[in-house]
């Protein structure tokens, strides 16, 4: 019981869900959403593409995605049902008036890519200042690779093969801080090599597999003061200029 004369204040985050897939930790949600909440006012606004206002704005879209992963829902439909039935989810996660299945899935498929990428870059800048840096004596190390992401057929931009849709993610991973640094998203047919120059900053050292081997690119990166360590194919002709191994 609170001491006499002390008023205990409650926030909406103290509400317990009526039924969810797991016991939801509201503190975890607050911790994960707080950095996003601080950045949201400075992001490029997400506007409706038509005359109708957005039924799911970017802020509530982010809330639903964080909630989805914390609760480990099995499907988007399960999430939508909980947003309608659960006290916490309906009052804090869902937008005013709730969200329909069609609006939620439309938002996931078609909107907010630029805002997500901008948010990612701003979160990286914040995290890079908070996380201790390792291997500082080796400079800024960035692992670079590309990977396919399966896409639904309705994602027409994710061109790959007939009757197959794939997107390709081009990722730069900050080894010094052990966090992703830069992300580029393209259709599945896009090449990987052109994104090295976009991922690396001046003075960075990219670490890549032999799929990135291109001698012209090597020259261009060095001219741009961007370093690299790249595996090369076995049949590559090598001319040793000098050897630093002792």
Taking the domains of the chain in order of start, what are their residue ranges? 12-113, 134-230
Q: Are strands 164-174 and 141-151 parallel, antiparallel or unpaired?
A: antiparallel
Residue 108's pLDDT band (cuts 50, 70, 90)? confident
Q: What is the pLDDT of residues 199-232, one digit of tens each?
A: 999 999 999 999 999 999 999 999 999 999 999 9
Q: Distance (Å, rounded) from C-alpha 29 to C-alpha 46?
A: 23
**Which residues does residue 148 pair with via DSSP β-bridges, in sequence order?**
168
pLDDT tens digits along 37-57: 999 999 999 888 777 788 889
| pLDDT tens track for 138-149 | 999 999 999 999
53 vs 9: CA distance, rounded Å:
35
Residue 59 pLDDT more than 60?
yes
Average pLDDT over residues 169-187: 95
Q: What is the pTM of this model?
A: 0.78
**3 pLDDT more than 80:** no
Find, among 218, 155, 228, the residue nearest to 186 by Cα: 155
Q: Which of 82, 90, 62 is nearest to 22 (CA)?
A: 82
Percent of the chain at pLDDT exceeding 70: 89
CA atoms of 9 and 175, how far apart (whole Å): 43
Helix (H, G, I), strand (E, B) or coil at 240: coil
Give the pLDDT score at 49: 76
């Amino acid at each position: 019981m609170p001491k006499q004369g002390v008023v205990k204040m409650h926030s909406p985050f103290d509400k317990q869900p009526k039924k969810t897939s797991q016991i939801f930790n509201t503190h975890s949600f607050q911790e994960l959403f707080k950095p996003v909440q601080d950045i949201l006012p400075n992001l490029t606004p997400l506007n409706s593409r038509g005359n109708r206002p957005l039924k799911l704005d970017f802020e509530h879209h982010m809330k639903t995605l964080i909630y989805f992963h914390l609760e480990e829902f099995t499907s988007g439909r399960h999430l939508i049902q909980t947003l309608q039935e659960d006290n916490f989810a309906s009052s804090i996660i869902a937008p005013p008036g709730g969200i329909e299945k069609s609006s939620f899935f439309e938002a996931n498929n078609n909107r907010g890519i630029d805002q997500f990428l901008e948010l990612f870059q701003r979160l990286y800048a914040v995290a890079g200042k908070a996380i201790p840096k390792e291997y500082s004596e080796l400079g800024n190390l960035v692992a670079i690779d590309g990977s396919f992401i399966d896409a639904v057929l309705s994602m027409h931009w994710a061109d790959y093969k007939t009757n197959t849709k794939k997107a390709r993610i081009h990722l730069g991973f900050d080894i010094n801080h052990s966090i992703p640094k830069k992300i580029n998203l393209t259709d599945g047919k896009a090449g990987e090599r052109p994104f090295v120059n976009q991922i690396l900053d001046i003075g960075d050292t990219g670490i890549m597999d032999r799929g990135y081997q291109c001698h012209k690119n090597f020259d261009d990166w060095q001219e741009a003061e961007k370093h690299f360590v790249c595996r090369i194919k076995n049949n590559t002709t090598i001319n040793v200029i000098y050897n630093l191994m002792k």
